[in-house]
Structure 1
């Protein structure tokens, strides 16, 4: 019974999120709208500085990553903060669910919901902006961007337990926009000053987008980018589990 509890929690999280129509609309439609606005003002045949991708393909990967980031980070942090205020932690104390089990369930539940965000951006890019890739690239991009969103889902859990009440939203927004801009989701990092580029390459969002862009050019992700994402996932998930246990003790 205990072993099946994380699976049940994942199902509950997915169901609750799908019922939130406003959140789903914002998460799924918003990145595609931004993609159309940004890509519509750019040269369709030129390549982006510091990349071998066309402008349309570059921003397709960026906005798919941004959409997944929006779904898992914004949703997790605020939802968990509200759950803490409502006494959900006290209910979980009655179960045998360990801290890491709770974090993984929350992370997986959020990441499942992020998949439509990625797919919709790809459909819009292919049908409206005529982005063409091989079949294996479409599948690889979808899988990698979805898997990479686990990193930010874990970060959302950590923020939800680090901050509460009125503080969680501003903290999440600062991290949300800061990581998106500095990581190169909104603009190529090649246009940044060199000192800022040196910082950017170590951010999880930079590695996240770089993994997708490598596949978009027909290559394989760099080992360093994969290692950075794995390192941040362990950091965020471990921190979230510790904060969960700490909060449970106070509950």
Structure 2
């Protein structure tokens, strides 16, 4: 007589979406608990907004204060996006990426999770500057205010991808240094600190080719209305497409190296 053995249930492997969400949650938590990161991406742009607003906020019948708010929110989001993107270097250094690869994380899931995490840590910087702006005299209805933050948030996608590319191609401290240099250059040449019209013509031409200039312009459109800056949408879309392809290639290479 044969005694039937109890069936052993094997836990199903997590889906690609589950792996992506888990990785995004891990990366978001790691970044959000970095005190220096949060101070740098929140306190600095808020302080710069207060300084510039005090100096120039009353110009153009007060609209200058709103533009300063938009630019400093974009600057804070830019810093958060690029820095969060380069955090991927830490996952490579400490071996966490290798664990994820062994667990079945694909380059596409890796990219999606990294973008989700960086998108999440952008929000506090945008909100902080935006709320301080409202408290200090920026006039905006709630729908216009929320639409402005949403436009800035969406427009910052290519800057996240820039951080990811830097984190993939540079090693160690070079990734963070490259992120800081890139962020400063994009803020200055994109007109976030000073109006682009103050620069020489060649710098203005360079600025018009950068996504940061058009992120600010889209924020102005969302807050104050006017013609839709379709050129800005095209520039941001082109940067996103090219950088997305670079990210996939870089991540596929990094994942391939981890599998060896």
Per the normalisation by structure 1, the TM-score is: 0.91
Structure 1 residues 109 and 208, CA, compared in 2 at 3 Å: closer, same or farther? same
How far has the Cα of 1:144 moved from its partner?
A: 0.8
Identify the match of residue 55 of structure 2 among 35, 41, 44: 41
Alignment match, 2:185: 178
Q: Is the 8 A contact 1:137 1:218 kept in 2?
A: no
Identify the match of residue 125 of structure 2 among 108, 111, 117: 117
Structure 1 residues 230 and 95, CA, compared in 2 at 3 Å: closer, same or farther? farther
Alignment match, 1:223: 230
Alignment match, 1:196: 203
Q: Does 1:10 align with 2:17?
A: no
How far has the Cα of 1:229 moved from its partner?
A: 1.2
Q: Does 1:72 align with 2:86?
A: no
Q: Write the deviation string for residues 102-131 of structure 1: whole angstroms up to 9, x where unpaired.
A: 112111111111111111111111112x11
Q: Is the 8 A contact 1:108 1:150 kept in 2?
A: no
Asked which structure has the greater CA Rg, the reply is 2
How far has the Cα of 1:240 moved from its partner?
A: 1.4
Q: Does 1:242 align with 2:249?
A: yes
Q: Unmatched 5+ residue regions in structure 2?
A: 1-13
Q: Write the deviation string for residues 61-89 of structure 1: whole angstroms up to 9, x where unpaired.
A: 00000011111111321x22222121223
What count of residue pairs does the alignment treat as equivalent?
244
How far has the Cα of 1:228 moved from its partner?
A: 1.4
Q: Describe how 1:57-206 pairs up with structure 2 within 5 A.
A: 57-77=66-86, 79-128=87-136, 130-206=137-213
Query: What CA distance in whole angstroms lies between the structure 2 residues aligned with 1:190 and 1:57?
Result: 18
Structure 1 residues 249 and 197, CA, compared in 2 at 3 Å: closer, same or farther? same
Structure 1 residues 184 and 81, CA, compared in 2 at 3 Å: closer, same or farther? same
SS at match of 1:187: coil
What RMSD, in angstroms, separates the aligned Cα atoms of the two structures?
A: 1.7
Query: What CA distance in whole angstroms lies between the structure 2 residues aligned with 1:69 and 1:165?
Result: 21
How far has the Cα of 1:28 moved from its partner?
A: 1.8
Q: Does 1:30 align with 2:44?
A: yes
Query: What CA distance in whole angstroms lies between the structure 1 residues aligned with 2:253 and 2:232?
Result: 31
Instruction: Kindly report structure 1 stretches of 4+ aligned residues shifted beyond 4 Å.
Output: none
How far has the Cα of 1:43 moved from its partner?
A: 5.1
Query: What CA distance in whole angstroms lies between the structure 2 residues aligned with 1:108 and 1:32?
Result: 24
Query: What CA distance in whole angstroms lies between the structure 1 residues aligned with 2:168 and 2:230?
Result: 31
Query: What CA distance in whole angstroms lies between the structure 2 residues aligned with 1:142 and 1:135?
Result: 11
Q: Unmatched 5+ residue regions in structure 1?
A: 48-52
How far has the Cα of 1:158 moved from its partner?
A: 0.9
Query: What CA distance in whole angstroms lies between the structure 2 residues aligned with 1:26 and 1:65?
Result: 14
